[in-house]
Amino acid sequence: MKITSKTYLLFILTLFLSQNLLAQIPQVPAELEFAELIVRINPQARREIQLDVDAQYRNPSYFKVKQDRVNLYMPIIERELRNAGVPEDLKYLVIQESGLIGDAVSTSNAVGFWQFKQGTAEEVFLRVDNQIDERKNIVSSTKGAALYLQKHNNTFDNWMCALVSYQMGLGGAKAYFGTQYNGKRVVDVDRNTHWYFKKFLAHKIAFENSSMMLVSNAQYMAEERVQGPTTLSALSKKYGVSEKHLEEYNLWTRNGKIPGDRAYTVVYVKNGSIPTQQAVLKKAEPKNTTSTTSSTSPAYKQANSFPRIAGNTTNAALPDQITVNNLDGVQAAQTTTQSTFSERVGVKENKLRRLNDLDKGERIEAGEYYYTEKKKASAEVATHVVMPGETLWSISQKYGMKLSALKSKNRIRKDRDLKAGMVLNLQDHRKRGEDIPVVKVNSPTPTREVIASSSPAPSANQAARNTVTQTNSSSNSKTVHTVASGETLFAISKKYGVSVNELKTWNNIGNQNIISIGQKLVIFRP
């Protein structure tokens, strides 16, 4: 047999990767952290778990294939667990259960990424019938798994017990553990510890430090919320991928058809880096810093990439047409009352207020996006740098997270405590007593002069009192308003009885509604 140079190079590369991978096999520690627990592992259990870790690395080619799947799917899994309040450490369970193979079937007829039997799937609101099997949908099944785990942890207040109950069922786990671990934060692992938890620890140790190793291509999993009825064939043209590709990653639709009963998430692979913005100032010290940001900074770009709108944007003012940050939403076509708007979008007024953290009587503003689905407990990105004119409410709407969660994570309650440049947490809770970091931000400069250059600049006291200067024209009264700390376009529009869109048009303000303290806004009143 003739050995070509190409075959030889491939052999050398495979050998190199194999040796490199084997050299990187992580060792089981005597102690580790898992989901709010301290796990102490005795020597005998460490040897037992190490055998499982070594087995994961035994076949480099197989490990590489599995790691590629991990890199594709894990950002989605982490997000859904986080949104459900489940520790991200539980993400390794999906590798243990299915190896992230969407149509995996166990000997007990459990199916999909998280290995649900049909009855259990229906308990967590997954659709399983001759058209749809959401156990094979990475987003839906992860939501279901998170709900299942959270429910069981409510019984034990211990994530080890909740995890083992995933395999045994709640009744079996209660009989096995009793109440000995309820509320415990330290767990000792020895030869008598349940095998399922030790196997889980092996997967956690094997994969937690191997992220982005041996990735074949720079790719990420794109997501689209789709309201049917439609087909994968039609969507393939829209997304610029083959129908076969969509079928491969969306095994949950049995016949390539997506029904119209509700919105489903369609996924497909795209080349390039994942578009989700990296955490801004993730390592920022809890103290003031003199670093600057501008309209070209990552912080500014991140702020302006949200909210993320997808779907049929030409009909954004109609219900069930668009998603806002992967949540069902709608855009207000005109300024109106909550009552009128709620009737138009088919959501009860009280529910609309609750979903969007609105005060009673607060107006619906033209052009703004409102949610018709419950917002999340955290955002897709870790932090947000406060821009001039923003409020806690506007930030919570921008990222699709609950206002109460934003306040709680940052231990801040009032808009008056909000300052431009603050680095707010959008995922993790700020530690008690920890100061909110502040960076310097450059206030956006209005693109049009709104007051004659000969007019005197207002003093700080005048700005604080919202001093108003008026001039008359033949038909309108022109008012110049100086923006004070904490004010928003919405608040100013209510003050003068004009719409937000009018304010934006008169003052050349972009779609992000950014205004700065001390900025002068021209207002025309009849």
- Tokens (6 digits) for 150: 């959270």
Helices 338-345 and 349-356 sit at what angle, rounded to 10 degrees?
100
Report d(CA 246, CA 210) in Å as an integer: 28
Segment 99-153, tens digit of pLDDT: 999 999 999 999 999 999 999 999 999 999 999 999 999 999 999 999 999 999 9
What sign has the CA pseudo-torsion 148, 153, 159, 162? negative
Return d(Cα 128, Cα 134) in angstroms, integer. 6
pLDDT of residue 266: 95
3-state secondary structure of 425: strand
74's tokens: 């894990």
The predicted structure's pLDDT at residue 222 = 92
- pTM > 0.75: yes or no: no
Judged on CB neighbours under 10 Å (0-12, 13-18, 19+), 411 is: middle
Please tell me the number of Cα atoms within 13 Å of 338 on its side-chain side. Answer: 18
Pairing of strands 520-525, 477-482: antiparallel
Contact 497, 526 (CB under 8 A): no
Tokens 């506007």: give the residue: 394
Q: How far apart are CA 67 and CA 19, in angstroms?
A: 17
User: How far apart, in whole angstroms, are the C-alpha atoms of residue 195 and residue 203?
Assistant: 13
Residue extents of the structural domains in the chain = 22-98+149-207, 219-271, 288-441, 460-525
Cα angle for residues 501, 507, 511 (degrees, 5° grid): 50
> 126 near 135, Cβ under 8 Å?
yes
What is the chain's pLDDT, residue by residue, as a tens digit (526 residues)? Answer: 455 555 555 555 555 444 554 547 889 999 888 987 889 999 999 999 999 999 988 888 888 888 889 999 999 999 999 888 899 999 999 999 999 999 999 999 999 999 999 999 999 999 999 999 999 999 999 999 999 999 999 999 999 999 999 999 999 999 999 999 998 989 999 999 999 999 999 999 999 865 434 344 578 899 999 988 999 999 999 899 999 999 999 999 989 999 988 889 999 998 866 654 333 333 333 333 333 344 444 444 455 568 888 888 778 888 888 889 889 999 988 888 999 999 999 999 999 999 999 988 888 888 889 999 999 998 888 888 888 778 899 999 999 999 998 998 888 888 888 888 889 999 888 887 788 888 877 544 333 333 232 333 333 333 333 333 333 333 456 788 887 766 677 778 777 777 777 777 777 675 545 666 667 788 876 5
Is beta strand 322-324 parallel, antiparallel or unpaired with respect to 327-331? antiparallel
Residue 361 burial (CB count, 10 A): 9
Q: How far is CA 141 from CA 77, 94, 270, 392, 456, in A?
A: 9, 10, 22, 32, 62
Is 72 in contact with 269 (CB distance < 8 Å)?
A: yes
Position of tokens 């603050």?
Answer: 422
Superfamily of domain 219-271: LysM domain (3.10.350.10)
Q: Answer yes or no: are the C-beta atoms of 347 and 364 closer than 8 Å.
A: no
CB 463 within 8 A of CB 486: no
CATH class given for the domain over 288-441: alpha beta
End-to-end CA distance of the chain: give it in Å, rounded: 91
Query: Cα(75)–Cα(282) distance, rounded to whole angstroms?
Result: 17
Whether 219-271 and 288-441 share one fold: the answer is: yes
> Sign (positive/negative) of CA torsion 495, 467, 367, 303?
negative
At residue 275, the pLDDT reads 57
Q: What Å distances lie between residue 73 and 12, 21, 87, 228, CA to CA? A: 30, 22, 17, 24
Note the pLDDT of residue 12: 52
Q: How far apart are CA 228 and CA 176, in angstroms?
A: 45
- Region label for 62, one of left (φ > 0), alpha (ψ between -120 and 50) or beta (otherwise): alpha
Superfamily holding 460-525: LysM domain (3.10.350.10)
Taking only the tens place, the pLDDT of each residue in 90-112 is 999 999 999 999 999 999 999 99
Q: 383 and 423 in contact (C-beta within 8 Å)?
A: yes
Give dist(CA 190, CA 48) in Å, integer: 9
DSSP H helices in 43-185: 43-57, 60-83, 92-98, 118-123, 138-156, 159-168, 170-177
